């Protein structure tokens, strides 16, 4: 069975959930071979085995985090040449798409982005135009390079050998042109990452102020959720930009999306429409967001949300 190369998403310590999703998908297409860049492979080995990784190509150095994207693409191109995989899977994150794009240029292979499913013939499903249209597509030149949307595949455990195969690799001068000289981490607490979270609670203009976003955070924390925001909120500076959900923000696809004080403009819907379950709190019964709601409460969020938080506490206690 041919290998399916998977670019692991991790932060050196923990493996991102999307990596397990990609391995789960890869098992249906061939033999999952994870490509691990940078440190941490040994401690991740057991978890990667749990989801069925057959092999882990480990390239601890150079410090991939010191350069923007290019070294990872070079490494993948080398592996793609030697391993002759049937497909290359990457997370559809900012970086995953960029690595995939560079790999496509290097190999001349076709690339598909924001894919939500792949079948055994390597035909891919996409949802485009803000959730309006389902598309099937395929790569017809070379080996498919496929960037898969986080949370689109349900990770399922299956035993794998996860044999570590060390790879030695030196990035070219060209790949080291954009140097990362510092990392500024914004306060975020212990919340899960927006695109990874199985529950997302988002606040919109209805929340009214930066201070009131604490209410959204409180509900999110009760649910173990990530916090999101509409553009009205990030534009007003009530919440940082990286939490924006929508056309020009993140695309999320959680099990549960809770939209609070959000009207549901098409650009917002573009980023959350494929969520499995959607709950809405809005005082305007005409708000378009209700069209998407599995459950909606027409009411003032300042009454509904505190009561919801209290109810969750009661049920937990």
Partner 1 sequence: MNIVVCVKQVPDTWSERTLRESDSTLDRDAADAVINELDEYAIEEGLRLAEAHGGEVTILSMGPDRATEAIRKALSMGADKAVHLVDDALAGSDLLGTSAALAAVLGQIGFDLVILGSESTDARTGALPAMLAERLGVPQLSYASKVEVDGSAISIHRLADYGYDTVEATLPAVVSVVEKINEPRYPTFKGIMAAKKKPVQTMSLADAGIDPATVGLANAASEVTGWAKRPPRQAGTIVTDEGDGGAKAAGFLAERKFI
Ligand X SMILES: Cc1cc2nc3c(=O)[nH]c(=O)nc-3n(C[C@H](O)[C@H](O)[C@H](O)COP(=O)(O)OP(=O)(O)OC[C@H]3O[C@@H](n4cnc5c(N)ncnc54)[C@H](O)[C@@H]3O)c2cc1C
**Can you give the binding site for ligand X, defined by CB under 6 A?**
204-206, 230-233, 244-249, 261-263, 265, 267-268, 271, 281-284, 287, 300-302
User: Tokens in use for 56?
Assistant: 């882990």
212 binds, among ligand X, partner 1, none (CB under 5 to 8 A by kind): none
Give least dist CB 193 to partner 1, A: 6
Instruction: Candidates 25-33, 37-45, 98-106, 163-171: pick the segment binding partner 1 (CB under 8 A).
Output: 98-106
Please state, in angstroms and rounded to a whole number, the distance separating the CA atoms of residues 130 and 259.
16
Residue 10: strand pairing partners: 15
Nearer residue to partner 1 within complex by CB, 63 or 291: 291
Among residues 33, 31, 28, 64, which one has the least CA distance to residue 48?
Answer: 33
Q: Are 86 and 65 in contact (CB under 8 A)?
A: no
Interface with partner 1 (CB under 8 A), residue from 18, 22, 89, 199: 199
Among residues 307, 296, 294, which one has the least CA distance to residue 215?
Answer: 307
Is 29 an interacting residue with respect to partner 1 (CB under 8 A)? Answer: no
Residue 127: strand pairing partners: 134
Nearer residue to partner 1 within complex by CB, 166 or 306: 306
Question: Nearest to ligand X by Cβ — which residue?
Answer: 246
Instruction: Candidates 45-53, 56-64, 78-86, 287-295: pick the segment binding partner 1 (CB under 8 A).
Output: 287-295
Helix (H, G, I), strand (E, B) or coil at 89: strand
Please state, in angstroms and rounded to a whole number, the distance separating the CA atoms of residues 312 and 310.
5
Nearer residue to partner 1 within complex by CB, 84 or 163: 84
177 binds, among ligand X, partner 1, none (CB under 5 to 8 A by kind): partner 1
Give least dist CB 299 to ligand X, A: 7
Among residues 68, 88, 63, 67, which one has the least CA distance to residue 78?
Answer: 88
């Amino acid at each position: 069975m041919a290998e399916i190369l998977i670019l692991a998403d991790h932060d050196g310590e923990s493996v991102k959930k999307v990596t397990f999703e990609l391995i789960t998908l890869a098992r249906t297409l061939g033999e999952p071979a994870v490509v691990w860049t940078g440190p941490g492979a040994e401690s991740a080995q057991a978890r990667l085995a749990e989801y069925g990784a057959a092999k882990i190509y480990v390239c601890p150095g150079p410090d991939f985090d010191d350069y923007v994207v290019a070294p990872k693409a070079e490494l993948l191109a080398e592996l793609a040449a030697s391993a002759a995989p049937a497909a290359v899977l990457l997370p559809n994150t900012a970086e995953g798409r960029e690595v995939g794009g560079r790999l496509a240029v290097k190999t001349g292979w076709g690339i598909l982005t924001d894919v939500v499913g792949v079948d055994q013939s390597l035909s891919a499903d996409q949802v485009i135009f803000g959730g309006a249209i389902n598309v099937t597509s395929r790569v017809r030149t070379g080996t498919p390079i496929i960037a898969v949307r986080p949370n689109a595949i349900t990770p399922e455990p299956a035993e794998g050998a996860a044999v570590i195969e060390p790879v030695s690799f030196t990035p070219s001068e060209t790949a080291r042109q954009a140097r990362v000289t510092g990392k500024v981490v914004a306060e975020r607490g212990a919340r899960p990452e927006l695109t990874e979270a199985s529950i997302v609670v988002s606040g919109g203009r209805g929340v009214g102020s930066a201070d009131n976003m604490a209410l959204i955070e409180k509900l999110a924390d009760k649910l173990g959720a990530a916090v999101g925001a509409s553009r009205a909120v990030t534009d007003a500076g009530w919440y940082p930009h990286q939490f924006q959900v929508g056309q020009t923000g993140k695309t999320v696809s959680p099990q549960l999306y809770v939209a609070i004080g959000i009207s549901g403009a098409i650009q917002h819907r573009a980023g959350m429409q494929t969520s499995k379950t959607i709950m809405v709190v809005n005082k305007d019964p005409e708000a378009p967001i209700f069209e998407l709601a599995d459950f909606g409460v027409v009411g003032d969020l300042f009454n509904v949300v505190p009561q919801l938080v209290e109810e969750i506490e009661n049920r937990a206690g």
